[in-house]
Amino acid sequence: MASQHRISQAKSSKLPLLIGVIVLIVGGLVGLVLIRDDNSADNSANNSEAVSSVTQGRITPQEYNDIFVANNTTHQLIDVRTSEEFASGYIEGAINIPVDDLASRLDEIETDMPIVVYCRSGNRSARAATILRDAGFENVYDLGGVLDWTDAGFSLQR
């Protein structure tokens, strides 16, 4: 009888531990699903899986090329430098909306596709990404600057 009591005690003392492990596993799985949902780009027309693999925020030139250019993923590329800077060289497919004009030109920006912004060094593009997110745009990616772009071996259009 005493040995049965010890076995029963051992089983009951491990039960809270087992429950805790199960809660952690289930919680981790739910967390992964929520993170994936938060980071997914709603781009059902083209390669939504590729876009969802990059967290919104900063995107490297190589990631941009691999996800958006190589996969021909629909997106809007916005150069937020001045028109003079834009004329000196820009990334193919970009439109020019200077960051100082961005808030007043939001109606020119597509709402149903990812938005990628860049500038010269990354400062204005970070500001532009914040302006866009604060205005309610989703799927906004900051490519940084053309300096990063050319340093990575990519060319500019002139």
pLDDT at 21: 46
The Cα–Cα gap between 79 and 95 comes to 6
**19 in a domain, yes or no?**
no
**87 in a domain, yes or no?**
yes
CATH number, position 54 = 3.40.250.10
To the query of whether residue 66 is one of the catalytic residues in this protein, the response is: no
pLDDT at 52: 46
pLDDT at 150: 96
The one-letter amino acid at 98: P
pLDDT at 34: 34
**132 in a domain, yes or no?**
yes
pLDDT at 19: 55
**9 in a domain, yes or no?**
no
**119 in a domain, yes or no?**
yes
pLDDT at 5: 46
Domain containing residue 77 = 48-151
Residues of the chain with pLDDT under 70: 1-56
pLDDT at 57: 86
pLDDT at 82: 98
pLDDT at 142: 97
**8 in a domain, yes or no?**
no
Q: The whole model's pTM is what?
A: 0.67
The one catalytic residue in 119, 126, 129, 140 is 119
Number of structural domains (the chain) is: 1
